[in-house]
């Protein structure tokens, strides 16, 4: 048996997140949804992936409560895939992935895209990690412990 190992029951939240959204196409679908894509055809055209793969990913995303189906906004009999609150909450992950990619996956001068503030068109700030008291934290300033809740 070569079933893809499941991390669904890991006690590590990172593992559970990766289990749900740690797939290239899944993340690209969420990205496109955040940029306004709603219809099966829109996702397919934008991503250029096989329709069976797209159908499987969309189905899983709906089952996991990240997308939901609702009547099409254009009044047709089709349905729209829209992000739930859980799906919208992926936004910081998307930003983190984007900022890392900008910094480490492009050569200087290579064409890319940037995230801007809708209000004024200016580029957003880098994500920062802060302690409970507001101190800026870097790599090495944190560690992981079992929850005692």
At 95, list the tokens: 């930003």
Q: What's the distance, Cα to Cα, between the start and end of the chain in Å?
A: 37
State which of residues 52, 74, 107, 133 lies at the interface with a copy of itself (CB under 8 A).
133
Residue ranges in 70-99 that form contacts with DNA under rule CB under 7 A = 72, 76-79
Instruction: Select the span of 37-45, 54-62, 74-82, 95-103 touching a copy of itself (CB under 8 A).
Output: 95-103
Q: Is 1 in the site for a copy of itself (CB under 8 A)?
A: no
Identify the CA nearest to 93 among candidates 22, 1, 44.
Answer: 22
Query: How far, CA to CA in Å, does 110 sit from each of 31, 94, 98, 106?
Result: 21, 20, 15, 6
- Residue 12 contact among a copy of itself, DNA, none, beta carbon within 5 to 8 Å by kind: a copy of itself
Q: Is 51 in the site for DNA (CB under 7 A)?
A: yes
The conformation of residue 127, written as its DSSP 8-state character, comes to: P
- Torsion angles phi and psi, residue 70, rounded to 5: -145, 160
- Residue 120 contact among a copy of itself, DNA, none, beta carbon within 5 to 8 Å by kind: a copy of itself
- Interaction site with DNA (CB under 7 A): 1-5, 23, 25, 39-42, 49-53, 55-56, 58-59, 72, 76-79
């Amino acid at each position: 048996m070569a079933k893809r190992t499941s991390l669904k029951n890991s006690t590590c939240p990172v593992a559970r997140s990766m289990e749900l959204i740690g797939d290239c196409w899944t993340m690209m679908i969420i990205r496109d949804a955040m940029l306004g894509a709603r219809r099966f055809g829109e996702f397919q055209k934008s991503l250029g992936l096989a329709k069976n793969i797209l159908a499987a990913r969309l189905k899983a995303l709906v089952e996991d409560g990240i997308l939901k189906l609702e009547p099409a906004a254009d009044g047709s009999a089709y349905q729209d895939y829209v992000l739930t609150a859980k799906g919208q909450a992926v936004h910081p992950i998307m930003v983190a992935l984007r900022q890392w990619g900008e910094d480490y996956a492009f050569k200087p001068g290579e064409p890319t895209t940037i995230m801007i503030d809708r209000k004024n068109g200016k580029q957003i700030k880098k994500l920062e990690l802060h302690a409970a008291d507001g101190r800026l934290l870097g790599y090495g300033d944190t560690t992981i412990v079992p929850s005692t809740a």
